[in-house]
């Protein structure tokens, strides 16, 4: 399976840190945010990774290179100066991702989720990992009814981790396009499955949350050395 990491956003809420550094290259626990994903993907047997680029994207490709030092083969999907939003970025990257379902991961989260535990898509167009609603997003996104997502009910938050079938984006034109309307339409016809993950997950969207994650990771590293 191939993976795509979303790394094209401007990181508006992370300013002023993102004036000169793209959000995926911000540091927490002595390592760039995006590197936690890269090492996790390699550990779990995924070798081919596509990363979409826009804001300060050259810094990302210069830093990560072809992925060899992570045990990966990285290719880049260039979006130009204006990010295409999530669905637009996926649609543009489809030629690099191929015809099989792929893993999608937001570049601005930290998680200890086991990517290898995700199911192989058979009857649905996507499978999303849902998490408990964080304080900054109390209303959630979608409900989980059995193994299917629903638009109504007790809502959870989409983690930014999922398996997507290219057919979900079939017939959609390239351009700036958000993902949420596509997901809502597919959920309404019962085409999206999901699961509830209660392990470690951080939405690293602001300088304050980046600082909290940095302290968490450094404490975890210290505790590990002490053990």
Mean per-residue pLDDT, 100-122: 92
CA distance 148 to 175: 29
Mean per-residue pLDDT, 106-126: 91
Tell me which residue range forms the domain holding 201: 3-226
Lowest-confidence range among 27-31, 116-120, 145-149? 116-120
Half-sphere exposure in the Cβ direction for 50 (13 Å, CA): 21
Residue count of the chain, please give it.
227
Mean pLDDT of the chain: 93
Kindly indicate the confidence band of residue 226, based on its pLDDT and cuts at 50, 70 and 90.
low
CA distance 160 to 6: 9
CA distance 79 to 177: 12
Number of structural domains the chain divides into: 1
CA distance 85 to 77: 13
Domain of 162, CATH number, reads 3.90.550.10
Is 225's pLDDT higher than 70? no
Is 19's pLDDT higher than 70? yes
Q: What is the predicted pLDDT for the residue at 66?
A: 97
């Amino acid at each position: 399976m191939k993976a795509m990491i979303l790394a094209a956003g401007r990181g508006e809420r992370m300013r002023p840190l993102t004036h000169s550094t793209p959000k995926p290259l911000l540091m927490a626990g002595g390592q760039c945010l995006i590197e936690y994903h890269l090492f996790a993907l390699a550990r779990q047997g995924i070798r081919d990774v596509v990363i979409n680029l826009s804001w300060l994207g050259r810094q990302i490709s210069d830093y990560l290179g072809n992925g060899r030092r992570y045990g990966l083969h990285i290719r880049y999907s260039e979006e130009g100066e204006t990010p295409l939003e999530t669905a637009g970025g996926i649609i543009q990257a489809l030629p690099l991702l191929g015809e099989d379902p792929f893993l999608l991961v937001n570049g601005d989260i930290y998680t200890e989720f086991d990517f290898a535990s995700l199911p192989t898509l058979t009857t649905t167009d996507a499978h999303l990992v849902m998490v408990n609603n964080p304080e900054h997003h109390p209303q959630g996104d979608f409900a989980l009814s059995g193994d299917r997502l629903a638009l109504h009910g007790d809502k959870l938050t989409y983690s930014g981790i999922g398996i997507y079938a290219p057919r979900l984006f079939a017939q959609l034109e390239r351009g700036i396009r958000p993902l949420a309307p596509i997901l809502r339409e597919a959920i309404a016809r019962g085409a999206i499955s999901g699961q509830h993950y209660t392990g470690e997950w951080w939405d690293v969207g602001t300088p304050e949350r980046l600082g909290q994650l940095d302290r968490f990771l450094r404490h975890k590293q210290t505790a590990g050395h002490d053990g």
